[in-house]
Structure formats: structure tokens, C-alpha cells
Amino acid sequence: MGGDKTRIIKHLILKDNVQIQELMIEFQLTKLEVRETINNINDSFNKDVIISSGQAVYMTEAAKMLCYKKIFREKGKLFSHHEFETRYNLIIIVLAVEKKYLSLLELAEICLVSKNTILNDMKLIKQDLEQKEIDVDYSRKHGYVMKGSEFAIRNLLVTAVKDVLRSLAGRILLEEKNLVDSSKIFRLRKRLERVESRIGITLTDEQLDELPYIIHFVIKRAKKLDTKWSFKIEKYDIKNTVEFPEIQQMFWDYDFLTQSDLLYLSLQVLASNMVESALAITDGDEVSEATDKFIDNIEANLAMHMHRRNELKNKVLLHMRPAIYRSLLGFQINNPLTQEFLDQYHEIYCVVKKSVKPFQDIIHRELSTEEIVYLCMIVLSWIYEAEETETIFKAVVLCQSGTSISKLLLVTLQSMFPEIDFIGAYSVRQFEQDGEEVDFIFTTVPINDKRATFIVPPILDSQTRIDLRNRVQGEMRNNSDPLVRSLMKVIKPYIPSQYIDVVSRKVCCLLAKQNASKVQTDNGSDQFKFSIDNISIIKESIDWKELVDISMLPLFRRKSITQHYVNKTKKVFYSNYNRMLIAENVYLPHVAAKFGVKKMDFQIVVLKKPAFTPNGEKVKIVVALAPSVENDHVPTLIKLNNLFMDKNIMCQMMKEENIFTIQSILNSLGGAEDEFCKFVSEGIN
Amino acid sequence: MKKVIVACGSGVATSQTVASKVKSILEEKGVRASVEAVDIKSLDQYIKTSDVYISITKNTKEYDIPTLNGIAFLTGMGMEEETQKLLDALK
């Protein structure tokens, strides 16, 4: 595979949210060349490993791994250096699974840094681990080793593995360091899927991806452990639960695992978030009873009746069962949305916090703020659902977890797009299985789907909200099918069956017409506002060869373009002028923005005495253009084309001496636009 | 979905304008097709995967797919005929 292709793949593997423009700048390529290279890459893999969505390009995790295995694994390394956070996690993992002294040199080779850097890293790691009651022992002869409570070291190992997996290209990092064996990971995943079906649970996609790695590393650690260890689970008799023997069964061939190892591994599974569980509601179950009391408290504190109470109970149970196991393990769940949620929905947080006592009575301690915020998201999404109204478009929110994390995103999107019916937040796996019909997909993980798909971060900042709103509204304008479906559903009973198809087609055409005129109106806000500086009236005759210099000079003086842009335009325009026009006798000298546009700009040059092309065509007006990379100049060009198509306006422009009148014509919405609209809608009427 | 390409000298202005107008016409007529603006240098490459080519200037080269006059969409003269040809080609 060629240099550009390999470098683009590497860039996309190591980075998320890549824009085409970023690739153009990074690799000195034109937009077309970037698109061509991406197409070539996809062709060489016989599948779309790189997906384009608007101006963004991305790769799914599976595609990243596929490309890594094909290009980098045998021929070279993907990573050239690691930041401290990655080094920290790598050091923890190797010290935990090797369970022997590792020298400075060995650690330095793994982390791709000098021995001095490792020395400094180890000082920081030692300080940090002291707080977790784990000691890092150092000997000049042998190097470093971790010592302390086995339970604490395993929890530290699990946290480090999770951190690596959640970092960019984390799975590939573990492969490149030879820390995992992909066949073993695959086997563990298959076993987990069997456990899921045997005990009737569905783990979130994120957990099903992470758990095989976590189990793999815990087993590696257990294999090296030569001393007995145990840990105490307060109150809970996990060994007598329905789940424990089933989970234990998945490790049948790891005969070196002790009862404590099996209990620890089972807890890892039980503490994982789930999207479904057949075991969720059991009469007389302690957690089930606590959930009933929790919902009673919520209803009393909010003074409202929660609709579909049983479904809500199921949702809360799905979250609280693993939460209780997490609490028993002493795991602190990480909820990146906590602060934003507290800022935005403090009142609901206070109500939920007041209502969680039944759960705290089970675990004999307070629930963490993070866990309460997760519960808040579930409660809040339920309240929003109660307020749902009739909508036309259907959408779904997808994320790796499919649980509480996506709930806030769902709530945010619902408030941003009240015109869309969000059917819920799901994991990708769950959504694919259910096959729900939707018009739009909002997802935090890249997926390959033919429907309009918007990749969004879990937290939407103000700029992202503006961009997303524009993109979604554009998509809604272009897609009138859902509106036609809704309308037809309502009016179908009143139409004779033989006319249903005809009426449906008529409605479709009518809506398309409405949408098109809306686009025209909306374009008004995207129009370039012409000032008198953007207009030149030239009364003298000018020579064809001076045309570009004269028309481009104001743009150059306004620092909108460089001299290189002028030179390039001259070269291209004089050999292609018959392709560079915007209306009859109106020429459009320009080249692509990459040749030296600093900002989008226009200069309208009215030639009172027409110039002539070498073909003898009249040049009455010149539109000197400095285009934008994002094609923001196109709405203005369409407007100019509509104006110049109108013979009366063209005539008025040519006769007019007053620059302010010309300015007023250019900034008006008039021209042949109405005729154009009339023309295109003729077929409908 | 059928594909229409429009080519001009740079692919950023004239062809974009024509492409935008053609898109509006097709939307109004309820015809689903993608319309793309390209620069003249890339034409040969795009034409292989396109169903209709809208040219801004008279062609010296013959192509295997229907070729329409893009100037009609810029000037309005002959736009009806070219639109009908476009609709026929996309049937």
C-alpha cells in the first residue's frame, strides 16, 4: 500500500473526529485527492473501512483493527511514543501480570522512552499507588515489583485495562505490546455470549468488548500467583445466586483458578452494565423491593405518577444490580457527564438523592454521586417520555453502553429536536437485533448504516449543537418521505383505495415544492452582503488581457487573496474562460481556494463598454470570486445567476450609473428566482 | 441512485451553481439522483461512474453517457429541453 494511503490510515486509527480539511492540510492533498485515496483504500479492502459522513471521515474500531493487522502488525509499529497516562497504565498492567521484578530497561522498551523518563514516571506511580495501599518495591539489581493486597492490585489492574481500552486505538496498543492473544480474547467473548443466553442477560456492547480483556488479564495474574488469597464480600451470598454457577462454568478449563479467583471473575461480570436481564424482576428479591420503594419515593417527592411503572422498574433494576456489585467490589464508576448533569438538572438530582435510601440500606453505605446521576438520567428520560407528542421523524440514539450514558444525550437531543420522535437509546448490538424503523441515527460510535447517521459526542457543547442542528435540519428538508407517510396514515381512511397511490404522489410533490421554496428563502441568510466596495463600474474600454488583473485588484487590496491566486486565476481563466461564466455575458474568473484565498469575497465589475473574448463573445459583467473551501459562495452565485438571467435587471445594471442602486439590486432577493421556481414546479401543477 | 455530474474549469463555482440548480429541479420533480460538481481535469475519472454529464461548454470529446448543455441552466435559454433530456436520461 502506498505512502499516502498508509499515512492516512495511521492518522485515522490514532485520531477521532477527523475532517476532510484536516487531511488536506496534513497531507498536502486536494479534496478530490483525499476522496480518491479513501476510495482506493476502501477498494483495496473490498469494504468501506473508511466511512465518510459530510465533511467528516472515520473508522469503526473493527475497521481500525483490520487495517492494523493488514498494514502495521507485520511491517512496522503503529505507535512511535506514548504519553504519561498510557505509560502509567502499561506499567501497571505489565507489573501486575508479570508478577516479577521488571528492570528499568524492560519498562523503557515497553513504553518507548528513556530509562530516565521511566525513573521519573515510577516516582509518580509509587506516590499514587501508596494512596491505594499498594507498594512499589525497587531493587537496583532486579528493578520494580508491586506488592500489597491482592484484591487492591487486581482492582488496579482492571482499572488500567479499562483505561487503555477506552483510549484511542487501545486494543491495538495491547496487540502491539504482545500483551493479548486475540484468539483467547475471541474465545472469552464467545463464552460470555453463551453465559448471556444461559442466564438471560444482555451486556452492553461496551461491557461485552471490555470484559474479555479484563478476564484475560485477571486470569494471567491468577496464573502467576503462587500464594493463597481471599477477599470478603459483606452481607451478600453471591455463591448461592443463580448467576454465579453459570458464570463459574465459563472457566471450566482454567484448572489453576481458585475459588477466590472465580468469585472475583464472577463479580466482574455481575458488576457490568446490562441492557436486558430476564432475572431483573424477582418477587421478594431484596433489590426488587428496594426498587419499588425507590419509585414510590420518586413519585412522592415529584408529586407525579410515573407511567409504565413496571418498565421503569426494569430499567432501574438493570442499573442497580450491577451497581450493588460494583459497590461490593469497591469500584468507583466513572460517569463523565456528572458535572454537566449537576449543573443543568440540580433539582432532579436532589429529588433522586432523597429517594435512594432503600438501595443504601442494602449496601450499608451512601451511593456515590456518579451512581445517583445515572439514576437521575433514567428518571429524567422517563419524565420526558411522558411528555412526548406526535412527531413526523423517527430517530434513535446509539452508544456503546446503551444505558444511562446515552440517556442524557437522548434528553439533550429531544430538547433540541422536538419535531423528532426518539424511540430510545440503545446499544448498537441491541438496535441491530431489534431492527426498529428510523429515519435518523445519532450515534457516539462510528457505524456503517445507509440511513442518515450523525456521529455526536456524549456531551454536546454549544458549537456542536449549532452544527448538528444545521445538519439535521438540512437532512429533514431533503427528506419528505416521513411527512408523506404520516399524512397518508391520517387521510388514508377517507380516500378511495384506487386513488391512494395518486394522492400519495401528489402529496409527495407538493411537499417537495414547499421544501424547495423553503431552501430558497433560507438561503437568504447565507447570502454575501454586497457593500459598495464590492462593486466597480468601469466606463472605459478595457482589454481582454487586463480583465483578470482589473477585476481581482480590489480583492487583493482587501487582502482576501494572494498574488499567487491572481496569477493562477490568469493562467486558468484565459485558457478555460468558456467554462467559467455565471450567466450569458457574465464571466467568473476564479480558481480553487487552496491557491491563495484568505477569506471569501466577491467583486462585481460592470463594464459599461463590453470587452470581448477571443471568440468574440461580449463580456458585460465580471464576477471576480475568492471562493470558500466549504462552498459558502454557492448560494450567492445562485442568487447572482438568478439576477443576471432576468433580462430587465441585466439591462438596468448595464444602464445604471448610481453604485448604490446596483448595490441594492445585488442585495435584493428579486431577479429571475420567481420564474425559476415557477419553471421547476410546472410539472407539479 | 443515479448520478449526474457537472464539470467546469475549477469545480468550485460555475459547476457548483449549475449542480445546485439541477438538484432543485430534480427535487421538485420528485426524481432521486445525486448531482456532483467536478473540475474538468477529473471528468474522465468521474464519468465512468456517472449516468448523465452536464457540460458547461461545447464538447470536443464524445462520451458514452447522455451529455447535456449546462449553459442552458445558467442562461435559462433552452432549459426546458435540457431538463426534459435530463429527466428522460434518469428514468
Q: What mean pLDDT comes out for the span A673-682?
A: 46
According to CATH, what is the number of the domain A532-684? 3.40.930.10
Nearest-angstrom CA–CA distance, A664 and A653: 11
Distance from CA of A514 to the nearest CA of B (A): 9
What is the count of residue pairs from A and B with beta carbons less than 8 Å apart? Answer: 105
- Domain A84-176 CATH assignment equals 1.10.10.10: yes
Among A31-45, A448-462, A574-588, whose mean pLDDT is lowest? A448-462
Chain B hits for A36, Cβ within 8 Å: 45
Place of cell 493486597: A149
Nearest-angstrom CA–CA distance, A441 and A427: 12
Q: What percent of chain A shows pLDDT beyond 70? A: 86
| Inter-chain residue contact B21 with A641, CB threshold 8 Å | yes
Q: Which of A508, A512, A582 is the closest to B14 by Cβ?
A: A582
Among A173-182, A255-264, A513-522, A571-580, whose mean pLDDT is lowest? A513-522
| Inter-chain residue contact B12 with A509, CB threshold 8 Å | no
Q: What mean pLDDT comes out for the span A452-460?
A: 78
| Inter-chain residue contact A641 with B8, CB threshold 8 Å | no
Sheet holding A420-427, edge to edge: A420-427, A393-399, A440-443, A452-455
Answer whether A257's CB lies under 8 Å from A265's CB: yes
Nearest-angstrom CA–CA distance, A345 and A343: 6
Q: Which of B11, B13, B30 is the closest to A509 by Cβ?
A: B30
Short-list A234, A536, A244, CA closest to A364: A234
Chain B hits for A478, Cβ within 8 Å: 27
Is A625 a residue whose pLDDT tops 90?
yes
In the three-class reduction of DSSP (H, G, I as helix; E, B as strand; rest coil), residue A406 is classed as helix
Query: By the CB < 8 Å criterion, does B44 face chain A?
Result: no
Phi, psi of A581 (to 5 degrees): -140, 165
Q: What is the pLDDT of residue A579?
A: 81
Q: What mean pLDDT comes out for the span A89-94?
A: 95
Mutate to test the interface with B, among A24, A31, A513, A580 (most CBs of B within 10 A): A580
Q: What mean pLDDT comes out for the span A378-400?
A: 71
| Inter-chain residue contact B56 with A579, CB threshold 8 Å | yes
Query: By the CB < 8 Å criterion, does B32 face chain A?
Result: no
Nearest-angstrom CA–CA distance, A672 and B73: 12
Per-residue confidence band for A510, with pLDDT thresholds at 50, 70 and 90: confident
Answer whether A545's CB lies under 8 Å from A562's CB: no
Per-residue confidence band for A281, with pLDDT thresholds at 50, 70 and 90: very low
Q: What mean pLDDT comes out for the span A576-581?
A: 84
Per-residue confidence band for A419, with pLDDT thresholds at 50, 70 and 90: confident
| Inter-chain residue contact A573 with B9, CB threshold 8 Å | yes
Mutate to test the interface with A, among B12, B29, B49 (most CBs of A within 10 A): B12
Is A280 a residue whose pLDDT tops 50?
no
Chain A hits for B42, Cβ within 8 Å: 32
| Inter-chain residue contact B28 with A684, CB threshold 8 Å | yes
CA angle A135, A141, A146 (to 5 degrees): 20
Nearest-angstrom CA–CA distance, A546 and A570: 9
Query: What number is the ipTM of this complex?
Result: 0.86
Four-point Cα dihedral A120, A124, A129, A130, nearest 10: 100
| Inter-chain residue contact B28 with A625, CB threshold 8 Å | no
Q: What is the pLDDT of residue B60?
A: 65
Among A57-66, A139-148, A389-398, A519-528, whose mean pLDDT is lowest? A519-528
Q: What is the pLDDT of residue A403?
A: 56
| Inter-chain residue contact B9 with A580, CB threshold 8 Å | yes
According to CATH, what is the number of the domain A3-72? 1.10.10.10
Domain extents in chain A: 3-72, 84-176, 182-279, 284-383, 393-517, 532-684
Q: Are domains A3-72 and A84-176 of this chain identical in fold?
A: yes
Query: By the CB < 8 Å criterion, does B31 face chain A?
Result: no
Is A517 a residue whose pLDDT tops 50?
no
Chain A hits for B11, Cβ within 8 Å: 32, 592
Chain B hits for A681, Cβ within 8 Å: 28
Q: What mean pLDDT comes out for the span A122-139?
A: 91
Query: By the CB < 8 Å criterion, does B75 face chain A?
Result: yes
Nearest-angstrom CA–CA distance, A408 and A381: 8
In A, what residues contact B, Cβ < 8 A? 32, 36, 478, 505, 508-509, 512-513, 515-516, 519-520, 572-573, 576, 578-584, 588, 590-593, 625, 627, 631, 633-634, 637-638, 641, 645, 672, 675-676, 679-681, 683-684
Chain A hits for B14, Cβ within 8 Å: 579-582, 588
DSSP label of A103:
-
C-alpha cell at A606: 460592470
| Inter-chain residue contact A683 with B38, CB threshold 8 Å | no
- What does each C-alpha distance from A628 to A24, A592, A631, A632, B8 come to in angstroms? 14, 8, 5, 6, 17
Q: What is the pLDDT of residue A676?
A: 45
Nearest-angstrom CA–CA distance, A568 and A551: 14
Q: What is the pLDDT of residue A478?
A: 66
| Inter-chain residue contact B10 with A584, CB threshold 8 Å | no
Considering chain A, what is the average pLDDT of its residues? 82
For residue B59, the chain A residue with the least C-alpha distance is A579
Residue scoring higher pLDDT (B3 or A464): B3
pLDDT tens per residue across span A306-331: 878 888 888 888 888 788 877 776 66
Is A335 a residue whose pLDDT tops 80?
no
Answer whether A202's CB lies under 8 Å from A277's CB: yes
Q: What mean pLDDT comes out for the span A547-565?
A: 92
| Inter-chain residue contact A633 with B11, CB threshold 8 Å | no
Range list of β-strands (E), A504-650: 535-538, 581-583, 586-587, 601-612, 618-626
| Inter-chain residue contact A516 with B24, CB threshold 8 Å | yes
Query: Taking the mean position of all CA atoms in its chain, how far away is CA A514?
Result: 32
According to CATH, what is the number of the domain A284-383? 1.10.1790
Amino acid at A682: E
pLDDT tens per residue across span A637-651: 888 888 888 888 888
- What lies within 8 Å, CB to CB, of A655 at 6+ separation is none
C-alpha cell at A332: 468507583
